[in-house]
A and B are shown apart, each in its own frame.
Chain A
Amino acid sequence: MTDANNNTDEAPEYLSRKVIVASENGLHARPAGRLAQEAQAFEANISLVHDGQTVDAKSILDILTLAAGPGNMVELRAEGSDAEAALNRLEALFLNKFEEA
């Protein structure tokens, strides 16, 4: 599921991981809120890419407008001092379905 794509010469500045939306209802209000909340804790600029759309991972509204459904693939991109840590944390969130009961 993860696909580390660290910065080589020609690669963009950001780090990137691909994740699958495994939560039952996709990126709905609760997971989107959780994701934004966690993302806000990091310095790095973090974005989500899905279906050709790139949005700010620190914005619940942005995440909601992605309307990523269950089973969809989403790319996490982070750029900044704690980019690596941010990706680790957010990827873990996706993996454990946003810690929803």
Chain B
Amino acid sequence: MADTTLTGIPVATGIAIGKAYFVNRNHMANLPRQIVAAEDMPAEIERLHAAFKSVEKELASIREQVPEELKSHGSLIDTHLMMLKDPKLSGSAEKYIETLGLNAAWALEKAVSDQEAAFEAIKDQYIRERMQDVRVVAEKVQIKLMGVKSDLNSISGRAIIMAHDLTPADTVELQVDKIMAFATVRGGKTSHTGIMARSLNIPALVGVGRLEEIHDGDLVIIDGLTGKIVVNPTESELADYNERAALFEDYTRKIRRHCHLPAETFDGSRVMVQANIELVEEVTAVLDNGGEGVGLYRTEYAYLNRTSLPTEEELAEKYIDLAAIMAPRKVVFRTLDLGSDKFISTFGELNETNPAMGLRAIRFCLKNPQLFKTQLRAILRASAYGNVSLMFPMISGVKEIRQAKAWLAQAKAELRREGVKYDPDMPLGTMIELPAAVFIAEFLAHEVDFFSIGTNDLIQYSIGVDRTNRHVSYLYQPLHPATLRAIKLVVDAAHQAGIEVSLCGEVASDPFCVPILLGMGIDSISMTPQAIPGIKRIIRQTNMHDCRLLLKDVLECRTVSRINNLVMDNIFKHFPEEVTFFSSLLENDEQPS
């Protein structure tokens, strides 16, 4: 048996086998604490300053390498540089050497603690959190003083990166050509680590428990398909995974070769396969993987991790870029979907007892019309440059969508008056992600040009389950009869009203669900760009007739396990490879004992 097997949330698929390399490991546990003799103090002070200078030089050189498109990372490094140069930090450390005779690393630790005390009293949350930056720079100096070589920039040979957390600033420093995979303790599906890993096409796991048990140099297997990390595997495990890795590589190569062909079934039905993205930089991944458009552009990113709201100009610049690059392909902008797990510091902490059901998404925007209109104007401006659609998240009723439309009309009127170009016929849609919206789909269909079903939230709200809660996450089941019936209701309502319906969410990229969605007659599915080739392959190797038959059987099932079995059989028959690589998606239909 291997030493240990850890589990995490896979955020980028693939299998990597290599040596573990810890970055940002908590060196502080081994911080030397010694008293320096009086005659050695001047030398110790010199060592302190030399360490500061050397880190400063490193940061400055990294700062120079930050590419233009990562400007925001650059300014973070500027802040770090200023903190490093702050006479306060080095000065107070120096004093601790002089007066108490502490060694340099310990003296700096004391200086940082003093600073921490001063920051703790600050009410402004954003400023209070800058203490983390002070820690980061101080640790760099301490690591230098301790002579530990764990620098992000000094990885020798290819390695699997392990970290408690990777900040955007860390990722700027990483030498991407040497990274085989990522594993971090913190981070969620849409964290920076995940985006970075997907764009590098390497496997990554986040939310890994007990990661600290792994040592530098341990041989580890990162399985980005099942979310497992095997530490110091046995010969047979190694052989097993080597084979799986090779198979998976073959499989991905094969499906990528055909990813630019249209998603058309044997019997001639066409489905649009589009991508969900949140950064303009991801368009390369969309196009490389054969995405036929952007079915969901998450606009939150521009609002997070900053202290002021983005201006219309800033947003418009990004949106226009995206629309123009993708044209004539479609880009669907989803208006700001903040709240619940994502906040902007400008609005402070929304301390809600039940954030998933609180002030979020469209509710938040309607409460902050200025912010909403700024975004609507920016999206409208982009519509003049490409094939742009707009949709509102979390709509629960007809009145809500009318209110949102009223703001849109006002934004249009303003632009018209100002003589700014926009597409007056820009299609407008609504997300269907609340059970309420499902039940009134036929009414909502008269208000908009298209629907987009957001299955992640729809499943969460329909089954009443928080899928990040480990006690109940087993209940989160895409193939629950209720979920499938809900989707069917929405598709039927849309088609009856003559509007199109799209589906974004993990269900769209789940090979086991796609044939069912096809059977329902869904017009478009949207998923992470990297999933597109695999899903296109499924679509191109099936026919609509079979999908309809499968759907009919599935809709008669009363339990999830029954549906899972049917779907499994179907996939087994037609797509044995998908069963090999993706069957873990179906593993969680039993309550854990």
Contacts and interface: CB of A to CB of B under 8 A. Distances in A.
Contacts of A58: 86-87
Contacts of B79: 29-30, 33, 60
Contacts of B575: none
A24 B308 contact: yes
A61 B89 CA distance: 8
A49 B87 CA distance: 18
Contacts of A2: none
A60 to B, nearest CB: 4
Contact of A65 (B118, B126, B308, B346): B118
Interface string A47-69: 00000000010111110110101
A36 interface: yes
B88 A56 contact: yes
Contacts of B118: 61, 65
B75 A30 contact: yes
A30 B130 CA distance: 11
Interface string B115-149: 10011011110110010011000000000000000
Contact of A28 (B85, B89, B307): B307
Given A65-B118, A65-B119, A69-B124, A60 B83 contact: yes
B86 A67 contact: no
B82 interface: yes
B78 interface: yes
Contacts of B127: 28-29, 64, 67
A64 B126 CA distance: 10
Nearest to B133: A29
A65 B75 contact: no
Contact of B78 (A33, A56, A59): A33
Interface string A9-41: 000000000000000111011101100110010
A85 B124 CA distance: 32
Chain B residues touching A, range: 20 to 34
B126 A61 contact: no
A59 B87 contact: yes
Contacts of A33: 78-79, 82
A64 B119 contact: yes
A58 B86 CA distance: 7
A37 B307 contact: no
Contacts of B75: 30
A47 B127 CA distance: 20
Which of A37, A61, A65, A69 has the most B CB atoms < 10 Å from its CB? A61
A32 B86 CA distance: 11
A26 B83 contact: no
Contacts of B115: 61
A67 B134 CA distance: 16
Contact of A64 (B78, B85, B130, B346): B130
Contacts of A62: 86, 88
Contact of A60 (B86, B122, B126, B346): B86
Given A59-B88, A60-B83, 18 more contacts: A25-B307, A26-B124, A28-B126, A28-B127, A28-B307, A30-B79, A33-B78, A33-B79, A40-B85, A56-B88, A60-B82, A61-B115, A62-B88, A64-B130, A65-B118, A65-B122, A67-B122, A67-B124
9 contacts: A24-B308, A30-B78, A33-B79, A33-B82, A56-B87, A60-B83, A61-B89, A61-B115, A65-B118
Interface of B: 75, 78-79, 82-83, 85-89, 115, 118-119, 121-124, 126-127, 130, 133-134, 307-308, 346
